[in-house]
Amino acid sequence: MIDGTWRQAEASGSFTAFNPATGEALPEQYPISSLADVELALRSALQAVKQVRQVPVDAIAHFLEAFAGAIEARREELVEMAVQETGLPRAPRLRDVELPRTTDQLRQAAAVVRERSWCQATIDTTHNIRAKYSPVVVLGPGNFPFAFNSIAGGDFAAALAVGNPVIAKAHPGHPGTSRLLAEAAFEALQRSSLPSGMVQMLYHMSQEDGLTLVSHPLVGATAFVGSRAAGLRLKQAAEGAGKPIYVEMSSINPVVVLPHALEERLPQIVNEFCTSALSGTGQFCTNPGVVIMLAGPLSERFVEQAANAFQATPPGLLLQKDAPNKTGKDGNIHAAVSCQGHHRRTPAERTWVSI
């Protein structure tokens, strides 16, 4: 979706999404946009930067509210598509939790647009290097198809609320879900007075073109949620061009457990740790990757109980088709849930345990 129209992509190739529950490719093909599509979207967004200055402030709020309503009208179709593309539970996760969270974010952003207390008039013609509006690139993750989707999530809502055109890059893991959200956005855009280039979406692009996009002279900023490797590459490209970029990446998230805490509530800490580690089949950025504690009998009990809890947990679905330890005997994609990387030292040198 570029400049308010659904157009044939200047594609360098195509891709398909996969059903994580079966490992099978879903039927629809999606384009991998070339740099020509990127440039066209940027020119359209730049034009929108000029046009949005003449639009009443309430127009953005009206769009966000209309967008939330259009999403709710497509709720069942959106949930079904997201289940097919991610394998996440229909209820309560997608239908009852994440989708309502998404529409609530949009409505909260609309309320903030109208409330305006965040606007502070600052006149500094000599030293001010800030520009009020610029195209913002948003790239979302694979594990939140609604709430962090690049065309509907929190980063999208925040950028648009303050008047910035958004160029959303869909995640290749759930392009169909992103398409349905973009259709809802298109419907809301058609009913608003916003410029046609305020909301645009590209399905996919090469890594090289993605780095070009976030470092492009016309881009004002980028928001990214995803893997550490991709986030660091994008950060390097954007900052090398003097462009601000916000990256929310995966992390090791070390946890320090003190002896007295284990004495007081060891079973509860084990339960809290395992629950956090297994959330989203271990694919949340908040996953506690390293536990540090003093050597001793209580630490050994912690390790033993955590390992037992992991091994007793039924396998879950991984989002990526090529994820390690993915295939069970029935061909499904599974998470290998086990106590891996359990480092042991001799009693004399054992000062920490990591899981």
Alpha carbons 197 and 189: distance in angstroms, whole number:
10
Query: Are residues 302 and 266 in contact, defined by beta-carbon separation less than 8 angstroms?
Result: yes
Which pLDDT score is estimated for 318? 81
Assess whether pLDDT exceeds 50 at residue 301.
Answer: yes
C-beta of residue 237 within 8 angstroms of C-beta of residue 215: yes
Instruction: Output the six-digit token pair for 290.
Output: 């390293």
What does pTM read for this prediction? 0.84
- Vertex 183: Cα angle to 177 and 185 (nearest 5): 105
Residue 72 burial (CB count, 10 A) = 14
Look at residue 49 and give its three-state secondary structure: helix
Q: pLDDT for 236-279, tens place per residue?
A: 999 999 999 999 988 889 999 999 999 999 999 999 999 999 98
Q: For the chain, what percent of residues have pLDDT higher than 70?
A: 86
Distance of alpha carbon 282 from alpha carbon 280, whole angstroms = 5
What pLDDT digit, counting tens, does each position of 1-40 carry?
999 999 999 999 999 999 998 889 999 999 999 999 999 9
Q: Is 119 a catalytic residue?
A: no
pLDDT at 326: 30
Q: Annotated catalytic residue: which of 39, 80, 285, 300?
A: 285
Cβ atoms within 10 Å of 21's Cβ, excluding its own: 14
For residue 230, what are the contacts with CB-CB under 8 A and spacing of at least 6?
Answer: 224
Q: Which of 39, 80, 187, 248 is catalytic?
A: 248
pLDDT: is 122 or 294 the higher one? Answer: 294
- All domains in the chain, ordered by first residue: 11-249 (3.40.605.10), 252-355 (3.40.309.10)
Q: Does the pLDDT of residue 324 top 70, yes or no? A: no
Helix (H, G, I), strand (E, B) or coil at 30: strand
Active site residue 304: no
Q: Which residue has the higher pLDDT, 178 or 331?
A: 178
Give residue-wise pLDDT tens across range 188-224: 999 999 999 999 999 999 999 999 999 999 999 999 9
